[in-house]
Amino acid sequence: MTYRGRFAPSPTGQLHFGSLVAAVGSWLYARHAGGQWLLRMEDIDPPREVAGAAADILAALPAFGLVADEPPLFQSQRTAAYDEVFEQLRAAGQVFPCTCSRRQLASNGGIHRDGQCVAADGSARAVAWRLRVPDVEVGFDDAMLGPQRENLRDSVGDFVIRRADGLYSYQLACVVDDAFQHITEVVRGQDLLESTGRQIWLQRCLDLPTPAYRHLPLVLDGEGNKLSKSSRAWPIDPADPTPALRRALSFLGRPLPDMPTDAERLLAHALTDFEPALMPHCSGNSDR
Ligand code: GLU
């Protein structure tokens, strides 16, 4: 089976240093494996999106030497596929409509359990759809972090797969499209580790294959906070890509040539003596 990896940004802002690390990391594993590297624009949440960000991200990646093997998949064009899967879950009785508000769920620690709504029947609120989550433990071996286990009923409970505003959740869209794009390994930041159990459970409900997972260390700012897309702390400039690319490769523990060179050569050099198992030893944030 050919290795297929992907980078799946949300267009909620420009490409930032944290997402560049995820892009470069996923690219390195795919290229090292002699596989393919795909792009997926996760533009399924218009209220959170920034006009022009999707185009800017897609234009920036090649400047960093990151060229995908297929045209990008846009989730905004995949609604029919999500509808189909949603109907499948509904027909199987695996989802249920829910009008519980966050405030109402606060008394349950914010978690919806056992298909038991706390909102009164006939509430005027718009309906969200939740996936029933039984008392089930989901386990997987993260290629970077080792064995992971999660009891989904305890940690997240019945989770939303279609929101009250009619938009599909990230969890559903991600699972449908990882399968559609035949992704064999998901390489992404550790901020998404907490989504993986839900995604594996959805794959089981839908009889879809589970890819391998590898969660990269998060880039933190000087105060130890996650670098957000709004952060101006570590600017990246597609017009002058090599400084940020060097920093990203160094964060990932990859060797850098002494000589100044272009993005393509930096990436090629980073594949020298690439040992997937050694990548965990990222240089962290010391190399700013
Ligand atoms: N779109 C998500 C993000 O930008 C990443 C999704 C993923 O890699 O699974 O945070």
Q: How far is CA 230 from CA 50, 52, 82, in A?
A: 11, 15, 30
Stretch (H or E) spanning 172: helix 170-180
β-strands 4-7, 36-41 pairing: parallel
**Separation in Å, CA 100 to CA 4, 9, 106:** 39, 30, 10
In this predicted model, what pLDDT tens digit does every residue of 168-197 receive, in sequence order? 999 999 999 999 999 999 999 999 999 999
> Rounded to the nearest 5°, which phi and psi values hold at 30?
-65, -45
Q: How far apart are CA 145 and CA 64, in angstroms?
A: 27
Q: Classify each residue of 66-83 as buried b or exposed e, where b means 16 or more C-beta atoms within 10 Å of its C-beta.
A: bebeeebbbbeebeebbe
Name the pLDDT band for 229 (thresholds 50, 70, 90). Answer: low
Tens of pLDDT, residue by residue over 49-103, are: 999 999 999 999 999 999 999 999 999 999 999 999 999 999 999 999 999 998 9
pTM: 0.93
Dist. CA 8 → ligand 1 center (Å): 5
What residue type is 189 in one-letter code?
Answer: G
Tell how far the Cα of 196 is from the centroid of ligand 1, in angstroms: 11
> Domains of the chain, with CATH numbers?
4-77+173-285 (3.40.50.620), 80-162 (3.90.800.10)
Mutate to test the pocket of ligand 1, among 14, 41, 192, 226 (most ligand atoms within 8 A of CB): 192
